[in-house]
Structure 1
Amino acid sequence: MNPQISNAPEARRVAVAIVGGGQAGLSMSWHLKQAGIEHVVFERDRCFSEWRKARWDSFCLVTPNWQCRLPGHPYAGPDPRGFMLREEIVEYLDAYVARFNPPLLEGVEVTQLQRGADGRFLLSTSAGAWIADQVVLANGVYQKPVIPREAERLPPDILQLHSSSYRNPQSLPPGAALVVGSGQSGCQIAEDIHLAGRQAHLCVGRAPRSPRVYRGREVTDWLTESGYYDIPYENHPQKATVREKTNHYLTGRDGGREIDLRQRALEGMRLHGSFRGVAAGQLHFAPDLRQNLDEADRSYNNIRTLVDQYIAQAGIDAPQEPAYQPPWEPTEEITTLDYAAAGITSIVWAIGFTPDYGWVDLPVFNGRGHPVQRRGITQVPGAYFLGLSWQNTWGSGRLADVGKDAEYLLGSIRRLAGMPVAAAA
């Protein structure tokens, strides 16, 4: 039953409520402030808390600094083609807040969101009730770290932590470390441990990889110039399934480079197939290491092909490069490993996060609990999502283009409020 929120005189009122004080929520705030629309941003921690607390010490961007282009705050530092370190990213973000002074309420958690019979929204928060005409859910998708139940089968003397809690190799106990998951975080953490001279094991899943520089230029330059990054997911060859894909792995470390797990294997990193479980002192892996490495290389080569096609179509004179030749192949598929004999004393679970929308009492989710939206607009008038992966394009949810998605939602917000709307972007 919808609450009669008009009979809640103790609640404060606002035109638009934004839940989440990260890059998405504050991009939305910037546009609303420019439009003169009253709003408030709720952040249960400190703004940009994920950047501050959930990144390891050597973390840096995997995309060039010039792609940091929050609305009204493009990167203006001395190294547009570099890759900012964690502390530099936080400085860039803090400068954004200082630049436009958003109506931000830090340390205020939204514990329930409902829609009243009159169509407005009631937000129960740790600092009292609020009523909003419209609401933007911008609290992100990296909310609940995933650690499998199989972790309970490991002995207590093995340190276990999620990738969001990993800081550096020195914080791990002496011995070998196993990283489970080969997405961006897993590969970079495994490299971090390996480059520190420690024995690193990595469970390789189906994450794709990307070239860094190809035919004389950064691949991000080629993909930007060709318009690939502007392709809406509806027009993408993989359609909506692209939203389910893991990010390609590469790194901004050492000035930016590729991550080739085959090369790391030659250097002594131990690669295994997908993690399958724990039993009787043994770690169990699927016999899919060769398949997963081949699939990652296929993605790598597909990106090269996209660049080749663009160069040919545009008539660009660019140097040729030889085809990629795998420097290492697994000679056998090891499906079990005695973790004590292997000297494994720590495990980093880098298998992602699940969203947490348990506080949202609105019919805006599918049977899997995922948002149902088109470019952030839901079937509930006045309720929006922002900052989702591939909400519209590759740059959605990223520092690159989350501002474009916020600008698009501004049009709907203005329309519902009966305000003039500029031409659609």
Structure 2
Amino acid sequence: MPSTPEPSQPAATAHHYSVIVVGGGQAGLSMSYYLKQAGIDHLVIEKHTVTHTWRSQRWDAFCLVTPNWQCALPGYPYRGNDPHGFMKKDEIIDYLDGFIAMVDAPVLEHTEVRRVTPRPQGGYDVFTLQGQFSADQVVVASGGYHAPIVPRMAERLPAGIRQIQSSEYRNPQALPEGAVLVVGSGQSGAQIAEDLHLAGRQVILAVGEAPRCARFYRGRDVVDWLADMQYYDMPVSEHPLREGVRDNTNHYVTGRDGGRDIDLRRFATEGMELYGVLEDYRDGALHFSPNLAASLDDADQTYNRINAGIDKYIEKNGIEAPPASVYVPVWQPDAERTTLALGDAGIGAIIWCIGFRPDFSWLDVPAFNGRGYPGHVRGVTPHDGLYFLGLPWLHTWGSGRFSGIARDAGHLADLIGKRHAGYQRAA
């Protein structure tokens, strides 16, 4: 793995900054890029090291599920020779290392923010393990995936079964012998199940309600079609689901080996065992919901619906393209299997791939709804000088991705700059 360029380390005695950015991932570094351009003094505080998650929470065969041309961090677009390919883990890290070096952000690493509170006179106090700071404005750029979700039933499973969360998975060889139960079929679950399946491991997949999409359709990557259709420019305020889209599970697809569909039905014809949602463990057996057929059907309906939208776009614009098609299931479950005796299954490991919960408990500002999600409009909260950046669907589909972070960071930087100028005049 390439070494991370050493970011500048500001002195801990310089307590006040115009802006403090919490989080040193692609969002926090993008914010720093624009603040440096504007000449606004700031500090990025990172709990671990910059872009830590990309280095420590991805499996060995991980690759992007979006084409390389969508890697468009501010001032640092993809410059490789395979814009329609999918960068692998080491290539992603190389790309990020170049971005880190280019931005040269003022970063304080290995520093956990323990509390952020409003100051009576305006601005915010930021308490960390390295001391106390203050800022006129604060940007929360720590993402929305903090606490891995593992159900309490896991505590009752036999101690001899190794249990890990998706962020801990590395490769099939690192797991003990026996079948592997993968719980969840979102992007991580589906890709990890595929990784294990291709390695010849027996996989039991508890299928969730995640949708799927085609990798390629009518001669092009579906992402290319959707970009032309301006789907990625649609703000959350114009999406049919409005803010509800933020709760959606990502479509499963892969960029592996040049990109392809993930078809769980085909995996079933090759020996992968599919069940519905895992509900409980009791009396020595795993218990599943009888919803496997419905989940597979719903995923396929989404797949075909996206392709039908592309068909309409092609027809409306008179575009020459290969013929349209509709996915026809290659496998159907004979019946819903709702129990699996653990002693008969030979399961040696379980991988929990059911997502993460946000944890903003350190932010002592009443800015959250009943589900712990921050209230904001395009990252701007009702609280003066407090912003969020890098959350899924903060503004558009690309808000939490390499493709859309620049637009969001630039927008917030403009607002921060105007407020900063007001502070300067008042001083």
Moved more, 304-313 or 48-57: 304-313
CA contact (8 A) 2:182 2:206 kept: yes
Cα 1:52–1:275 change in 2 (3 A) is same
Q: 1:155 aligns with which of 145, 155, 158?
A: 158
- Say whether residues 1:282 and 2:276 are aligned partners: no
Secondary structure at 1:417's aligned position in 2?
Answer: helix
- Say whether residues 1:19 and 2:49 are aligned partners: no
The one-letter code of the counterpart of 2:356 is: F
- Provide the aligned length of Structure 1 versus Structure 2: 411
Q: 1:181 aligns with which of 159, 166, 184?
A: 184
Cα shift at 1:412: 1.4
Instruction: Give the TM-score taking structure 1 as reference length.
Output: 0.95
Q: 2:322 aligns with which of 314, 319, 325?
A: 319
Cα shift at 1:322: 2.5
Show the counterpart of 2:214.
211
Show the counterpart of 2:136.
133
The one-letter code of the counterpart of 2:96 is: L
List gaps (5 residues or longer) in structure 1.
1-9, 421-425
- Say whether residues 1:328 and 2:326 are aligned partners: no
The one-letter code of the counterpart of 2:231 is: Y
Q: 2:400 aligns with which of 391, 397, 400?
A: 397
Show the counterpart of 1:249.
252
CA contact (8 A) 2:165 2:353 kept: yes
- Say whether residues 1:90 and 2:67 are aligned partners: no
Secondary structure at 2:85's aligned position in 1?
Answer: coil
CA distance in 2, matches of 1:302, 1:25: 36
Secondary structure at 1:17's aligned position in 2?
Answer: strand
1:99-118 to 2 correspondence within 5 Å?
A: 99-118=102-121
CA contact (8 A) 1:11 1:131 kept: no
- Moved segments of 4+, more than 6 Å: none
CA distance in 1, matches of 2:391, 2:76: 21
1:380-419 to 2 correspondence within 5 Å?
A: 380-418=383-421
Instruction: Give the TM-score taking structure 2 as reference length.
Output: 0.95
CA distance in 2, matches of 1:105, 1:417: 22
CA distance in 1, matches of 2:19, 2:39: 11
Cα shift at 1:11: 6.9
Secondary structure at 1:201's aligned position in 2?
Answer: strand
CA distance in 2, matches of 1:285, 1:344: 16
The one-letter code of the counterpart of 1:31 is: Y
CA distance in 2, matches of 1:110, 1:223: 39
Cα 1:148–1:197 change in 2 (3 A) is same
Secondary structure at 2:345's aligned position in 1?
Answer: coil
Cα shift at 1:415: 2.0
CA contact (8 A) 1:11 1:128 kept: no
Cα shift at 1:238: 1.7
CA displacement 1:101-147 (0-9 Å, x = unmatched): 11111111111100011111000011111110000000011111111
Show the counterpart of 1:351.
354
Secondary structure at 2:398's aligned position in 1?
Answer: coil
Secondary structure at 2:245's aligned position in 1?
Answer: helix
Cα shift at 1:163: 0.4
Secondary structure at 1:60's aligned position in 2?
Answer: coil
Show the counterpart of 1:120.
123
- Say whether residues 1:264 and 2:267 are aligned partners: yes
Cα shift at 1:360: 0.5
CA contact (8 A) 1:113 1:361 kept: yes
CA distance in 2, matches of 1:248, 1:354: 19
Cα shift at 1:318: 1.1
- Say whether residues 1:376 and 2:379 are aligned partners: yes
Identity over aligned pairs, percent? 54
Secondary structure at 1:395's aligned position in 2?
Answer: helix
CA distance in 2, matches of 1:219, 1:73: 24
